[in-house]
Each structure stands twice: as C-alpha cells, then as structure tokens.
Amino acid sequence: MVPIREVQGENLYSPFSGQQVRTIGVVTAVMRRGFFMQTPGVEWNGAASDAIFIYSTDWNAIPGAELEISGEVVDYLKHETAKPVTQIHLDQIRIRKAPGPEIQAIDITADFLPASNSALAQLLNSLEGMLLRIPRGQTFIAPSNPHGDYVLALDAERADNSAVRTEHKGAIISAENPLRWYPGFRITNYNHAPRLNVGSVLDTDVIGPLNYRVDSYQMAIQHPFKVQDAFVTLEKSSLLPATGALTIMTLNCFNLDPHVEAESKVMNPEQDIDDDWGEGRFHTLAQAVVLQANTPDIVALQEIQDNDGAELTDVVDASETYRLLIKTIEQLSGIRYRWIDISPEVGADGGQPGGNIRNAFLYNPLRVELLQQHTEVFGGDKACFEGSRKPLLAVFKEKESGEKLVCINVHLASKRHQNSIFAPFEPGVDAKLGVRVAQAAVIHRKMQELREQGLNYYVTGDFNDTEHSQTLAVITGDDSTNLVDLLPPEERYDYNHRGKLQVLMHGIVPNEMVDNKRAEYEIIHGNELVGVKPGEESDKPSDHAYVIAKLQLV
C-alpha cells in the first residue's frame, strides 16, 4: 500500500507519475470532477502533502468516508506555465468505513505563512490537497464575485509582512511584493455563498482542502459560513467644473456595447454574449458621470466596443454605443455630450475578440471646444503597439478662457500573461512588461513634443501597471508628475485583483502644473469594493474605480 504523501511528493513532479498505485484515505471534499482524499492518522511533516485529488467523473464519493482506491498517478498541467498538480485517475474503489476517521485541519495563521514568495510557494505545495482551517475573525479584502471566490487578510499580521490598509480594511499592494498571496476559498454551492463587500468579517471558521487552480492556491469549501457584512457607499467627487479649469474623468467601460450578440457569431458563447443595455450598465455608467463625477468637462473612456459587440464581423463603428451612453447621461443631467474616437482596424487592437475596443472621449460642448483637426491616434507604426490599443490624442479648448489642454487617452498592454508566483519557471515574470515600457517610451516622446510647443497635457487611461513600475517611471520621466503620488498611500487604488488593491489608472501632467498647485486629483472609490451575488452575472458597470482630475489652465 503506497502512502499518499509519497505520491504527492515534495517536488513539483511526482516520482510515481505514470505508475499504478493503491492507497487509503478519507474523503475531505467532493468536487465536480472528483474528490480530495487525505491519509488518516498521519501527522504532517512540513515537507510533503498527505492528501491528493482523485480524478473521477463517474463515481460520487461520500464525504468523510474512508476509501481504498487504485489508479494511475498523473501530473496534470492546465497550461505550459502552470504548476503541475499530482492526481490519481481512479480505476477501482472500495469503501472501508463510512464515516471514516476524522481528519484534523491545520490552522492558517499569519505566523504560519512565511514572508518570502519562494518559501510560501514551497509551503503551499507541501500542503496541497490537505485539510486547512481559516479561523473566524479575519477580514475579506476582495468583494464576492459571480464564481464564489473569497479572499481574506489574516488580521493578526506579521509586522514584516503587513500591507497598507484602507479605510474599508482593504489591502494595498506594496512595491516590494506586489504579487503577495492572500488566503482564500471557493464555494461551489452558491446557496451557501453570500454577497459581501470589502471589509466584511468572517464570523465562522471555514475548513476545506487546499486546491491549486487558476495559477494560485485556494481552499475548496462546501459548507455554509457566516459573515458580518460591511456597508460600502459609492463616493462622490468634490471636484467641480470652473472657469479657467477643466475636469477630466477616466472611465473604463468594461467592454461596453449596445448589442446582444448572436451565439453563432461569437468565439466563445459562454463569455462573449451579454446585454449591457438590458442589464443597466449604460445607466450605471451615466450615473457615475453625473452623480459621482459632477458632469465633468471631459470623460476619457476605455474599452468601448463597436456596435455589434463581440460578434466576429467587419463592423468597427461604435456610434450606437456612444449614442446610448450620451442619451442616458442627458436624461440624468440635461447635458448632451459629444464624442470623438478613431476606429481601429478589424481585430487590430486586442481585447475581446470581435469587440474592437478603443479609447474615446466624451466632452461637454457647453464648456469645451474640440479642436478636431488635431485629433490623432499615434504609435501604430511601432512594433510595441501591434495588437494593442493605440493612444488617442485630442486637443480641447476651455471656452471661457480660451486655454488649451492636450489629452492623451491610453490603454497599455495587459498584465494577463504575467506568471504566478507559483509558476515552476520564472515565477512572477511579466511577459508584457517590456511591451508596456516600450509603449511608455513612445508616449513620453509625444509628451516631449508637446512641451516643446508650450502646450499643457494630461495623460490618463488604463496603464495596466502601478505607480511603482518601470512603465510609469518611463512615461513620467523627469519632466512630468503622476498625480496619483499626490494622494496618501491608503487612497492609491482603483482596482482589486484577488484582494490586492492597486492603481492601474493614472493622471500625468507637466511638473510645473503641480509645482504651481494647479492640479487636483481624486479616485472615486466604491465600485471596486462592492460584491456581487455568486452564481449571478455581475451587474458592475466597470471593474475599476473612477478617476477624476481638475486642472487649472490659467
């Protein structure tokens, strides 16, 4: 009889891979494609797991039962940069006892987790599949999502591993360890999965085996749990339009389009069909513009899709998307904005297949004049912008003062391809960082041209990188300031990635504008803190908070 801990060895690949084994274990959780099993009566030695996942789509295991099973050891790889997961593909099974011996869970506490990512990866690999417990009293740092995922901070945190905490008890990433892992869990029965906001507190222990999925570790939970939910309000900006100044809002519209896609015309029907109008996303975005951002003079939009959304057609025109958004804003405010974009070529700028996302501007013609002859996209002749959104440049004139402002709206290459800290090779390496740095250099050269012409500029959008990054260092250089740096550290976040709050939107102006105290900046929090009900489609209008600047031109 082969003990499971010898099958789930300390190394990433099992020495038993491809072999037939027989072993005994207690079922600790039943999943959609099999079940977790842990050896009873064996004390964890800190070096290797005493548990394993049994892959079986044909047999419904009994939770708590002691089983004798046989099957082939397989090292499963989800994709080429993933960590291999050792499994047993079930051949034969025999129930020894039901219920079987009790398995004692290991408590996950702040002191239990090492500070370094490499030591953490080794520890969690040795715990893979084993029954763990997160004690009650911890704080949720990510909002609930449609998939039943939850992330917590261990509130008795180590002094050398603590993060900046926000007013709502969220955790802001540090420059030293931006990929820090936080414990969390997924609950598959959505009847047991509450909607909750950042800052909610766990009111019962949660227990489940440690599962490796989506390039990270999280526990698999199958019992209900209780929380003390936190109340989050959507903030309102204090910045108002004024003579001699312009207010500019940055708004990531999260693949906004007016069309319900036809199943036969999209690449992935499960992901690419939505009804943004019917789900109220246009209305909620309009509320953000009017009620939270005080009908700003200019709105810099990202992730605007064409008129037929994710359908794989030759359509690139997005006039209907703008028409519906402008119409809804007008109903709330009485102001009829105008729009400007330059449509991309079909499939040339990345994003959701068929969507042809682009950057765009809305502007209030009562306050602002667009100098249309100066509108351009640039960078399209550079290799770093191949398959990526091109920056949109527009020149606006504040009508009362006659002063001009050049706005550059960017959406840089995605971080989606960054390796996890648990990747077996090059952990944490961001494959697109060099691309974003090259894009930043192109944008910075444009900013230098504007300086030479004596023009004020404001560069904003979704940079897909933080204020500490090489990308932002290149784009600001020595002659510009990132307005994010004017905010206190606990306010520097507009995006929540698995519980890690961070800034991906920025506002960059000439140093002189900051030196002369002519620039104000706010992040309108709330959207990135509010959860959705697991099992239901997200009704969030954006996955970012909203950003607004007020720039005094005279």
308 and 425 assigned to the same domain: yes
**What are the tens digits of pLDDT across the range 58-69?**
888 999 999 999
Residues 438 and 525 in one domain: yes
Question: Is the residue at 236 inside a domain?
Answer: no
Phi, psi dihedrals of residue 261, rounded to the nearest 5°: -70, 145
Angle at 411 between CA 410 and CA 414, to 5 degrees: 150
| Whether 327 and 414 share a structural domain | yes
Residue 284 sits in the same domain as residue 402: yes
Tell me which amino acid residue 70 is: S
Of 179, 201, 228, the residue that ends a domain is 228
DSSP per residue over 198-243, as a string?
Answer: TT-EE-S-EEEEEEEETTEEEEEE-S---EEPPP-PPP-------T
pLDDT tens figures, 213-254: 999 999 999 999 999 999 999 999 999 999 999 999 999 999
Question: Residue 160: pLDDT above 80?
Answer: no
Instruction: Supply the pLDDT for residue 215.
Output: 93
Q: What's the mean pLDDT in 445-473?
A: 98
**pLDDT for the residue 552:** 98
Asked if 389 and 269 sit in the same domain, the reply is: yes
Confidence class for position 11, pLDDT limits 50, 70, 90: low
> In this prediction, what percent of the chain has a pLDDT beyond 70?
97
Is 115 domain-assigned? no
Q: List, for residues 309-347, the tens digit of each pLDDT value.
A: 999 999 999 999 999 999 999 999 999 999 999 999 999
Q: What is the CATH number of the domain that holds 404?
A: 3.60.10.10
Q: Which helix (H) or strand (E) holds 272?
A: helix 269-272
Q: Is 258 within the bounds of a domain?
A: yes
* Domain-ending residue, one of 228, 259, 294: 228
Judge if 275 and 391 occupy the same domain. yes
Q: Are residues 249 and 330 in the same domain?
A: yes
At residue 5, the pLDDT reads 60
Per-residue confidence (pLDDT) for residue 13, from 0 to 100 = 81
Global pTM value: 0.95
Given a cut of 70, whether residue 10 has pLDDT beyond it is no
Between 1-15, 130-144, 365-379, 532-546, the lowest mean confidence (pLDDT) is in 1-15
Q: Which residue has the higher pLDDT, 82 or 54?
A: 54
Do 197 and 276 lie in a common domain?
no
CATH number at residue 61: 2.40.50.140
Provide the b/e sequence for 433-454 (b: ≥16 CB within 10 Å).
Answer: bebbbbbbebbbebbeebeeee
Arithmetic mean of pLDDT, 169-181: 93
State the first-to-last Cα distance of the chain, in angstroms, to the nearest integer. 82
Q: Same structural domain for residues 252 and 217?
A: no
Q: Is the pLDDT at 185 greater than 70, yes or no?
A: yes
Omega of the bond prior to 99 within 30 degrees of 0, cis?
Answer: yes
Contact yes or no for 128/85 (Cβ under 8 A) = yes
Q: Are residues 219 and 302 in the same domain?
A: no
Confidence of residue 195 (pLDDT cuts 50, 70, 90): very high
Lowest mean pLDDT among 77-86, 96-105, 370-379, 397-406: 77-86
Inside any domain, residue 240: no
pLDDT at 157 over 60: no
Per-residue pLDDT at 9 exceeds 70: no
- Is residue 416 domain-resident? yes
The CATH number covering residue 218 comes to: 2.40.50
Please choose, from the candidates 464, 252, 472, 465, the residue with its C-alpha nearest in 3D space to the C-alpha of residue 358: 252
3-state helix, strand, coil in the chain (%, to 5): 20, 30, 50
Residue 20 β-bridge partners? 72
Distances in Å between the Cα of 240 and the Cα atoms of 48, 507, 532 are 59, 17, 31
Region of poorest pLDDT, from 41-55, 339-353, 387-401, 442-456: 41-55
Query: What integer pLDDT is reported at residue 66 of this predicted model?
Result: 97
Q: What is the pLDDT of residue 188?
A: 87
Kindly give, in sequence order, each residue whose CB lies less than 8 Å from that of residue 381, ignoring residues fewer than 6 positions away.
Answer: none
Q: Cβ contacts of residue 434 below 8 Å, gap of 6+?
A: none
Is the model's pLDDT at 550 over the cut of 60?
yes
* pLDDT at residue 158 tops 50: no
Alpha helices in 205-255 (DSSP H): none
Handedness of CA 297, 302, 306, 307 (dihedral sign): negative
Q: What percent of the chain has pLDDT over 90?
A: 90
Does residue 159 have a pLDDT over 50?
Answer: no
Residues 262 and 394 in one domain: yes
Residue 47 has pLDDT above 90, yes or no: no
The number of distinct structural domains making up the chain is 3
Contact (Cβ atoms closer than 8 angstroms) between residue 339 and residue 361: yes
Whether residue 114 is contained in a domain is answered as: no
The pLDDT tens digits of the residues spanning 261-278 come to 999 999 999 999 999 999
| Residue keyed to tokens 């402008």 | 326
Report whether 363 contacts 337 (CB < 8 A).
yes
Average pLDDT, the chain: 94
Domain extent at residue 138:
126-228
How much is the average pLDDT of 498-513? 97
In a shared domain, residues 413 and 536: yes
Q: What is the pLDDT of residue 8?
A: 59
Mean per-residue pLDDT for 382-402? 98
